[in-house]
Amino acid sequence: MGLKDKKEVRKNRSFAESFKHAFDGLVILCKTERNFRFHLIASLIVVIISFILKIDLSQWVWILLAIFIVLIAEVVNTLCESIVNLIVGNKYDEIAKKAKDVAAAGVVIASIFAAIIGLLVYVPIIFGL
């Protein structure tokens, strides 16, 4: 199957090739998605705070789980938006809007989960509870 730029679409030949494409996807996310960059910076700040507060292993598990759930939700949101844009182009479509809004809601839900985890981990440490 040929594309406009004459590149062939085919299955990856090796794990290394698959990994390269996945890494390319991360680069694209960082370059083009403002919200993904925001979540990465927020994640870095959370990790630094966690080191400063010397959280224990079980707390690290929860913090890292929260971080990665938010990042994965942002990836899924971007994926959904890209597919919808590919299908509908520049025209408005109510179902396309619904799909994009629901995907964005997934990021909000993941972010609320992360905030709750942050409160459960950090408040007792900060206030000595």
pLDDT band at 27; cut points 50, 70, 90: very high
What pLDDT, on a 0 to 100 scale, did the predictor assign at position 24?
Answer: 94
Contact partners, residue 43, CB within 8 Å, separation at least 6 = 67, 70, 71
What pLDDT, on a 0 to 100 scale, did the predictor assign at position 11?
Answer: 78
Asked whether the whole model's pTM tops 0.75, one would answer yes
Annotated catalytic residues are: 74
pLDDT band at 37; cut points 50, 70, 90: very high
The yes or no reply on domain 16-125 and CATH 3.30.565.10 is no
Name the region of 128 (left: φ>0; alpha: ψ -120 to 50; beta: rest): left
What pLDDT, on a 0 to 100 scale, did the predictor assign at position 1?
Answer: 44
Q: Please tell me which residue, 19 or 103, carries the higher pLDDT value.
A: 103
The domain segmentation of the chain, as residue ranges, is 16-125
